Structure 1
Amino acid sequence: MLILLDIDGVMVPANSWRRPEFHEDGFPVFSDKAVNALNRIITETNAKVILTTSHKSKYSIAKWKAIFNHRGVQIRGIEKLSNSKIMYDRKDEIVTWFNKRKDSDVEEFVIIDDDKMLNGLPGFIKENLVLTSPSIGLTDELAQDAIDKLKHHKVGGGKF
């Protein structure tokens, strides 16, 4: 099981009136609510994380593991969407990821993101989307939605 995870607006609420608090490693502090929710998803599904965030290419996988660990997230495995020389938007990156994996039996996945542009995903991918409010981030209620999608949903077919 896989969690395609954004950071800003999911783990770090985006409040335009307030500058985020930064951890000593220089990356923003995650909200406690989001950390608890993500840990719950990981614990109940044994899911691995694939980073979709715009920050994904700034750090190595080892550094990302440290970032999550320092914030109390019990990551079981972490990857990031591959970087492309072509500037994709998040929706296109996810569709490209899905199409590359489609022929090798895509395992159950959920997309946790605040980007409303993802509402434009093809239906068979969009049904795996958990859309957060950017100013609130990941909540326990949304975590339950993600768990339900991971445990009870089979990936639809087709390519986009």
Structure 2
Amino acid sequence: MLILLDIDGVLVPANSWKKPEFMEDGFTAFSPGCVAALNRILLETNASILLTTSHKAIYQVAQWKNLLKTRGINAKKLKRLTTDSLKTTRKDEILQWYNNTRTPNEYFVIIDDDKMLNGLPEYIKSSLVLTSSSVGLTDDLADEAISILQKMHINKHKQF
């Protein structure tokens, strides 16, 4: 199982009236509530993380693992998209991943605040959990993500 994970608007709510808090490593602090919601998804599904954030190229995977761990997220397996967010949209990055890189029959959920993802084909969009940029990942949205991953798993086994 795989979580395609954005950061801004998911783990770091974007509030224009509030200056973001930065940690010693120079990256923004994550919202504790958003972290708790993500950790619950990770715990209940044993999913890996695929970073889709526009920040993904700033650090190597090992550095990302450490950055997430410092913020209370223990990702057992972590990868990142290799596409350039400055040259393509998140929607196109996800389509490229789905068509070219995704492991066949892999269960996935996309957690993002990018409303452009509503334009994904339905067979991918059905795995989208869209957060509010100013709120981020909530417990209700975590339930939705868990449900998507569990339904994919159940539906896969019903086929046999």
Give the match for residue 31 of structure 1: 31
Count of equivalent residues: 155
Give the match for residue 123 of structure 1: 122
- Distance change >3 Å, CA 93–CA 85, structure 1 → 2: closer
Give the match for residue 111 of structure 1: 110
Instruction: Give the 3-state SS of the residue equivalent to 2:57 in structure 1.
Output: helix
Matched, 1:140 2:139: yes
Instruction: Give the 3-state SS of the residue equivalent to 1:74 in structure 2.
Output: coil
Residue ranges of structure 1 left out of the alignment (5+ in a row): none
Whether the 8 Å CA contact 1:41–1:146 is kept in 2: the answer is yes
What is the rounded CA distance, in whole Å, between the counterparts of 2:143 and 2:88 in structure 1?
30
Percent identity of paired positions between Structure 1 and Structure 2: 56
Whether the 8 Å CA contact 2:83–2:93 is kept in 1: the answer is no
- Distance change >3 Å, CA 99–CA 43, structure 1 → 2: same
Q: Deviations over 1:9-39 (max 9, x none)?
A: 0000000111110111110000001100000
Residue ranges of structure 2 left out of the alignment (5+ in a row): none
Following TM superposition, where does structure 1 have runs of at least 4 consecutive aligned residues deviating by more than 3 angstroms?
A: none
What is the rounded CA distance, in whole Å, between the counterparts of 2:22 and 2:70 in structure 1?
12
Q: Which amino acid aligns with 2:126?
A: E
RMSD across aligned positions (CA) = 1.8
Give the match for residue 82 of structure 1: 82
Give TM-score scaled by structure 1 length. 0.92
What is the rounded CA distance, in whole Å, between the counterparts of 1:26 and 1:83 in structure 2?
23
What is the rounded CA distance, in whole Å, between the counterparts of 1:85 and 1:37 in structure 2?
26
What is the rounded CA distance, in whole Å, between the counterparts of 1:58 and 1:52 in structure 2?
12
